Amino acid sequence: MKKNVSGRELLFIASLLFGMLFGAGNLIFPVSLGQKAGNTVALATLGFCITGVGLPLLAIIAMARTESASMAELASKGGKNFSTFFSCLLYLCIGPLFAIPRTASVSFQVGLYPFIGEAHQRPGLLIFTLLFFLAALYFSLRPGNILTYVGKILNPLFLFFLGILLLTAFLHPMGSIQSLPPTEEYAKNSFVTGLLEGYNTLDVVGALAFGNILIETIKNRGAKDGKEVSRLSIISGSITTVMMAIVYFALAFTGAGSRSLFSLQANGGDILHSVSTHYFPRFGGILLGIIICLSCLKTAVGLITSTSLAFAEMFPKGLPYKKLVLLFTFFSFAISNLGLSRIIQYTVPALYFIYPMSIVLILLCLIGEHFQFEKKIFQIALYVTAPFALLDAYKALPKELLAGIPFHEKMMKLLSHIPLFSIGMGWVLPAVLAFLLSFLFWKMRERKRQHIA
């Protein structure tokens, strides 16, 4: 017997998706953007929302319209080899290599470090990350209850405590934003800078990675028909992204307003700490610690769960789900103890490679009906995008690494002739041309085939 998914359950599913997507980076990056953007904060945040909100929604729509049950199935449009390579790369980056360790490191750096200081940083980080990942492990070993844990408990608690801070900042602004000039990077092109800053949220790859949990949760609530699952996925995804956009604008404007009282600060975590202690001198640090820990824990659970499910599905003869959970949790624990700065330093280049590939794959899936999802078109567009995305990733490597590479300066001068390379989007024109040419040849071939028939 078919069971209809109620509006209340749909809200909880949207809350689950929001909870998994909205982690520490989603808190600290828009606040930092706001402080740097100054009086151009609205334009910068709009750009941020395109990559941080719009693209994740398109990723969900792409999975829904193609009725793909997982990231691997969606990527298979580019062939089996591409699907295996890209799915493994995406899940490893959003999983144990970068994103999962970052959840614990950010929680410690923002929530606990201000209370213990430099002298106890190393042992404090070790103890905190151990406790953090034990909690994440407990929830991740029970994937059937993830809607309850994340959608009904952790995320509502997170939004409640975050709402206290943002509502207070809205009712009692720290100063006028109009008189605050943007920093140099935002003065040149506030919109594009915000657009690229949205990469740091990891939300496009997050939406692709969490698609398997979203679809499985909707099916478990009673929707079995493929079209119904797709429809509910798009609705819940739309609710999630609207919520995210509202929170992003609130965070960015809070960050911009903080410039009236505080000088430019190193990162969004420091800004949030200053803001929270400004409004709540006695317990602002504790409030922020609760917000950050809840934010990161729910995302860590989602990441561990989705990554383990994906690898169990891709390699059915390999390790079972629970052993993968243990493996990824332990590995993330080890990486997280390298420290937040080092993790972020190496995350950015990886994103500059993964994001373009993800965007091209998503857009091709959205318009795939117009060329009957021809595999060759997918492959040509993706394989042409890859080397240019790799060049963008090379440019984003840490400066100390680039300084040691022979002929780096000459190489950069040569690469600067690639259109949009200077703003980290050198892949765009090659990807567009590759698609248009492959589509044109496909169209000519189809017309010839129809003429012969």
Taking only the tens place, the pLDDT of each residue in 3-21 is 677 788 888 888 888 988 8
What Rg do the C-alpha atoms of the chain give, in angstroms? 22
Of the ranges 274-278, 281-285, 405-409, 429-433, the best mean pLDDT one: 429-433
Q: What is the mean pLDDT of residues 163-182?
A: 90
What pLDDT is recorded for position 341?
65
**Is the per-residue pLDDT at 156 higher than 80?**
yes
Give the angle subtended at the CA of 207 by the CAs of 149 and 90, to the nearest 5°: 110
Assign 273 a pLDDT band (cuts: 50, 70, 90). Answer: confident
Short-list 135, 141, 196, CA closest to 395: 196
What torsion, rounded to 10 degrees, do the Cα atoms 324, 329, 334, 338 define? 120
Encode burial over 371-385: b for 16+ CB neighbours within 10 A, e otherwise: beebeebbbbbbebb
Is 191 within 8 Å of 197 (Cβ atoms)?
no
Residue 306 has pLDDT above 50, yes or no: yes
Under CATH, which architecture does the 7-338 domain have? Up-down Bundle (1.20)
Structure confidence at residue 452 as a pLDDT band (50, 70, 90)? confident
Task: Give the integer Cα–Cα distance in Å for 303 and 43.
Answer: 31
Specify the pLDDT at position 296.
Answer: 87
Q: Determine how many CB atoms are found less than 10 A away from the CB of residue 187.
A: 14
**Nearest-angstrom CA–CA distance, 339 and 101:** 9
Alpha carbon distance 102, 43 (integer Å): 28
Closest CA to 314 of 72, 92, 93: 72
- Spatial contact of 404 and 410, defined as CB atoms under 8 Å apart: no
Among the listed residues 30, 412, 37, 15, the one whose alpha carbon sits nearest the alpha carbon of residue 214:
15
Task: Work out the average pLDDT over 77-85.
Answer: 92
pLDDT digits (tens, 9 = 90+) for 321-363: 999 999 999 999 988 887 666 676 777 788 888 889 999 999 9
Residues 132-154, mean pLDDT to the nearest whole number: 86
- Percent pLDDT > 90 in the chain is 37
Please tell me the pTM assigned to this model. Answer: 0.84
Amino acid at site 410: K
Q: pLDDT class for 453, splitting at 50, 70, 90? A: low
Quote the mean pLDDT of the chain.
87
In which residue ranges of the chain is CATH 1.20.1740.10 found?
Answer: 7-338
- Contact of 289 with 158, CB cutoff 8 Å: no
Q: How confident is the model at residue 77 (pLDDT cuts 50, 70, 90)?
A: very high
pLDDT of residue 254: 93
Region class of 398: left (phi > 0), else alpha (psi between -120 and 50), else beta: beta
DSSP H helices, 50-183, are 55-65, 71-75, 80-92, 99-106, 113-116, 121-140, 146, 155-171
Cα 178 to Cα 110: distance, rounded to the nearest angstrom: 29
CA–CA dist 21, 203 (Å, integer): 6
Tokens of 230: 């797709």
Half-sphere exposure at residue 17, Cβ-oriented, CA atoms within 13 angstroms: 37
What does the alpha-carbon distance between residue 234 and residue 438 come to, in Å, rounded to a whole number? Answer: 29
Question: Quick one: average pLDDT of 98-108?
Answer: 85
- pLDDT score for 1: 43
208 residue type, one letter: L
